[in-house]
Amino acid sequence: MEVRIEEGWKKELAGEFDKPYFKTLTDTVRMEYADPRVRVYPPAGKIFAAFDNSPFAETKVVIIGQDPYHGPGQANGLSFSVNPGIDIPPSLRNIFKEINADTGAPIPDNGDLTRWARQGVLLLNATLTVREHQPRSHANLGWSEFTDAAVRAINEHGDRVVFMLWGADAIRKGGMIDRSRHLVLTAPHPSPLSASRGFFGCRHFSQANAFLMANGKKPIIW
């Protein structure tokens, strides 16, 4: 199956595209986008935005979310990110607060994280599509198998990558990561329901940059 995705990722994930689950997944997702009774996010052209904005060879950090934002105009294909002009969601606001406390970086006035992606931060949701106002509505379509394959590819062929895993779902995805080669940082989810249980004060952003610099890579400008 021909899939429009960044060439490095296309090579790494080529084995997935002809598997039965992926055909079933893409057929179902196409029908969902074509159904006039429902709205699906992100826009179809942004489904693989995380991969397109962070080419495989340049990926230095991986941040794993759950599924895209399900409100109008929010999702742009990058986990935790929203389009400019959209109110910053509570979880992302907490991420910015922790970055500010950890590194001193100012809190941005918008929630578009494309600037992180272009520095090699893969902002990967476990599920890449969602119905409007229905969180986790596409969680059982097969996306998790595909995004597991992406994590395995980075684990096997990536060079000293930092994984930031927040919350139980993301931490489970980290079970396949070789911690002798990569840095795995875990914490509760930045949601207001759990951020005070250990996300605040986790200092993941300074730890990530220290690891990158120790391995001869440019730090991320958070």
Q: Read off the pTM.
A: 0.96
Q: Is 35 in the active site?
A: no
pLDDT in tens, 83-122: 999 999 999 999 999 999 999 999 999 999 999 999 999 9
14 contact partners, CB below 8 Å, separation of at least 6: none
**Which residue among 67, 109, 169, 178 is the active-site one?**
67
Q: Shortest CA distance to 199 belongs to which of 119, 81, 93?
A: 93
Per-residue model confidence as pLDDT tens digits over 23-40: 999 999 999 999 999 999
Asked if 109 contacts 49 with a C-beta cutoff of 8 angstroms, the reply is no
